Structure 1
Amino acid sequence: MNIIETLKADYQRFPLEQTYSIYAADVYFQDPVFKFRGLELYKWMIKFIHIFFSKLRMDLHHIEQEQNMIKTEWTLSWSAYLPWKPRISISGWTQLDLNNQGLISSHIDYWYCSRLDVLKQHLFSVNKG
């Protein structure tokens, strides 16, 4: 299976059973909330998402590769563990850079909304999941 097919499969079952063997040991991760380096921290973040997000869904809208860069577009949604159970949704895109061994050396997420917009969904959402 090539890396594109592996990523498609990982998105479908996210955050369960991710294929960590496609990532470099010193993978760099960044999104609007976190910034760190290292595969063990990356695994911890995925585990955190699995534990603290309810009814999690990752929809992959598009994936393409140009040389050593892969771009994905996606929507991540979940139900927050709050009494009113708001349904939260973040759409965005990811840039994955590959090293000389073909492993993901950098994973940078960009959101089409602000962190404040995400906070507002938690506080003022009428959508229940």
Structure 2
Amino acid sequence: MIEYQLQVQQAIDTLKSDLPTLFEQDISYDIYTKDVYFQDPVNKFKGKTNYRIIFWTLRFHAQLFFTEIYFDLHEVAQTSSDTILAKWTVRGTLRVPWKTQIFFNGYSTYKLNTEGLIYEHIDTWDRKPVEVLKQFIGKGGESN
């Protein structure tokens, strides 16, 4: 039990370290199982290779589409013996002449196996994906 709790604490510490810079640098994959399952409002897949690809894609698109983008981590806590919850906000400025701002809140639910490794990561957003995409249009298309 002590070893399990140490592994859970390592996962929490790693998430606290990795998440704020996920748009700038790669995360550590040591706290995840080989067959980790990921789901957010637009993606669903299984496997550490695919998990690595989603984070690479996030960094690539962040550099391509944004002049600045931030992943503000508000809290990471163990909410039950096999669950870690991370609350966050994504905000940024799109690379368009009218400098549209994007902003949405969410939380990540991480489920832990008996060794304290993350086998499931489910992201929940405070709005539908289409509402997030509408922010990309911004004020540029409107006449004032």
Check whether TM > 0.5.
Answer: yes
Alignment of 1:1-129 (within 5 A): 2-15=10-23, 16-53=25-62, 54=66, 55-65=68-78, 66-125=80-139
Which 4+ residue blocks in structure 1 deviate beyond 4 angstroms? none
Alpha-carbon distance change, 125 to 68 in structure 1, aligned in 2, over 3 angstroms: farther
Conserved in 2, the CA contact under 8 Å of 1:26 and 1:38?
yes
Distance in 2, Cα, partners of 1:41 & 1:64: 25
- RMSD of aligned alpha carbons: 1.7
Q: Which amino acid in structure 2 is aligned with residue 7 of structure 1? A: L
Conserved in 1, the CA contact under 8 Å of 2:92 and 2:101?
yes
Distance in 1, Cα, partners of 2:57 & 2:139: 23
Distance in 2, Cα, partners of 1:96 & 1:33: 18
Deviation at 1:81, TM superposition (A): 4.0
Distance in 2, Cα, partners of 1:27 & 1:92: 20
Deviation at 1:125, TM superposition (A): 4.6
Deviation at 1:77, TM superposition (A): 2.1
Distance in 2, Cα, partners of 1:91 & 1:56: 14
Distance in 2, Cα, partners of 1:22 & 1:104: 6
Identity %: 36
Alpha-carbon distance change, 93 to 125 in structure 1, aligned in 2, over 3 angstroms: farther
Conserved in 2, the CA contact under 8 Å of 1:87 and 1:125?
no
Deviation at 1:123, TM superposition (A): 0.9
Alpha-carbon distance change, 117 to 60 in structure 1, aligned in 2, over 3 angstroms: same
Show structure 2 runs of 5+ residues with no match. 1-8
Aligned length: 126
Deviation at 1:95, TM superposition (A): 0.5
Show structure 1 runs of 5+ residues with no match. none
Residues 88-126 of structure 1 show CA distances to partners (whole Å, capped at 9, x for unaligned) of 112111110011121110000000111121111111257
Larger C-alpha radius of gyration, 1 or 2?
2
Conserved in 1, the CA contact under 8 Å of 2:26 and 2:56?
no
